[in-house]
Amino acid sequence: MAPTEFYTLDNGAPELLQALYKSVGTTKDEGASSKPVYLGDSRRENHIEAQADPVEHKGIRLHNWIIGSNKTHITPIDTVDEIGEAAKLTPPEMVFGKNQLMLFHEPSGVCYNFLAVEALKGAHFPPPASDNAEDIVANQQLKVSIAKHNTNKEDVKELNITYDWTYSTDYKGSLQRLIKSEEPPITFTKSEEDLKVETTSERINFEKLKEREPILWFEDVALYEDELHDHGTSAMSVKVVSFVMAYGACGLF
């Protein structure tokens, strides 16, 4: 099997989950336990396997949930071009194509993760509000002032592009369902079943959140960054804090 160059919806979460399961060397159903089980490099960081070599994946398993991440180096330029083709845009200067943050509910197989290529897809402009020519033009053109010495205000270049050049994205994460193999070695495959999302009247108990609870796991995952040709900096990252409350685990983004 060829090595994964960057993570997509098809390979991102399955590869991370397989690595996290393998790190504890067990297939027993321990996910419902109220005692946290550290996975991957989190075992070394929490001195469970202090002599282990650092790895690029880490996570925690608690109350039927696995929260995990991949963090590695900047994606090589050739692969960045592939990411740009997949996202249908000119990619940022720095893309972390093999970084991701993931939450996985073991009983249902529901997976919620964040990927660089999917975040970049969210930088495209939405469809025009109407078929009116003005709406179409306004939706596709940006004026970029090139701030250089001896540059006049009239020196403005119109770019006929379909995405935000600052890489601002409406991406809120990717939702899918994964199927776990019944026999070892444990593997995960993406289900073709569509997940149905429904609104709820339930609300977060903010008073409960004010209680001081120990932080069990924290991660800050960079997805991409660009200096915008000296017009500032654009960056996309995802953070998660995991701690235990009286009724179970909680993650804040």
Per-residue pLDDT tens over the stretch 37-89: 999 999 999 888 887 788 899 999 988 999 999 999 999 999 999 999 999 99
pLDDT surpasses 90 at 172: yes
Query: Is 203 found in the same domain as 118?
Result: yes
pLDDT beyond 90 at 131? no
Q: Are residues 26 and 113 in the same domain?
A: yes
Gap between the Cα atoms of 34 and 64, Å rounded: 9
**Residue 93 shares a structural domain with residue 174:** yes
39 and 155 together in one domain:
no
User: Between 123 and 208, where is the model more confident?
Assistant: 123
Q: How far is CA 150 from CA 145, 146, 155, 230, 236, in A?
A: 13, 11, 10, 16, 33
Cβ atoms of 42 and 60 closer than 8 Å: yes
Counting runs of H as helices and runs of E as strands, what totals does the chain give? 6, 13
> Both 43 and 59 in a single domain?
yes
Asked if residue 177 and residue 145 are part of one domain, the reply reads no
Q: Which of 162, 189, 219 is a domain's end point?
A: 162
Clarify whether residues 155 and 81 are in a common domain: no
Task: Please give the residue range of the domain that contains residue 93.
Answer: 12-124+167-252
1 CB burial (10 A radius; 0-12, 13-18, 19+): exposed
**Residue 32: band (very low, low, confident or very high) from pLDDT cuts 50, 70, 90:** low
Would residue 38 count as lying in a domain? Answer: yes
Q: Are 77 and 95 in contact (CB under 8 A)?
A: no
Q: Are residues 218 and 201 in the same domain?
A: yes
Say yes or no: 181 and 90 in one domain: yes
Distance from the first to the final alpha carbon of the chain: 34
pTM equals 0.81
**CA–CA separation, 127 vs 132, rounded Å?**
12
Please say if the pLDDT value at position 150 is more than 60.
Answer: no
Q: Is 2 among the domain residues?
A: no
Ranges of beta strands (E only) in the chain are: 37-40, 57-62, 65-70, 94-95, 100-105, 110-115, 141-145, 156-160, 174-180, 188-190, 215-226, 234-245, 248-252
Q: Output the pLDDT for position 15.
A: 95
Tokens linked to 198: 């429904």
Q: How far is residue 36's CA from residue 218's CA, in Å, rounded to a whole number? A: 13
Q: Which of 162, 179, 210 is the last residue of a domain?
A: 162
| Residue 76 in domain | yes
Residue 210 lies in a domain: yes
Same domain for 116 and 137, yes or no, is no
Task: Please classify residue 143 by burial: count the beta carbons closer than 10 Å to its beta carbon, then call 0-12 exposed, 13-18 middle and 19+ buried.
Answer: exposed
Torsion, Cα of 14, 3, 95, 100 (10° steps): 20
At which residue do the structure tokens 């006929």 appear? Answer: 160
* Confidence check: pLDDT of 213 > 50: yes
Domain boundary among the residues 162, 189, 220 is at 162
| pLDDT number for residue 134 | 57
Q: How many domains does the chain have?
A: 2
d(CA 170, CA 191): 25
- Do residues 143 and 212 share a domain? no
Q: Note whether residue 201 is domain-resident.
A: yes
Does 1 fall in a domain? no
Tell me whether residue 3 is in a domain.
no
Q: Is residue 50 part of a domain?
A: yes
Same domain, yes or no: 183 and 153: no
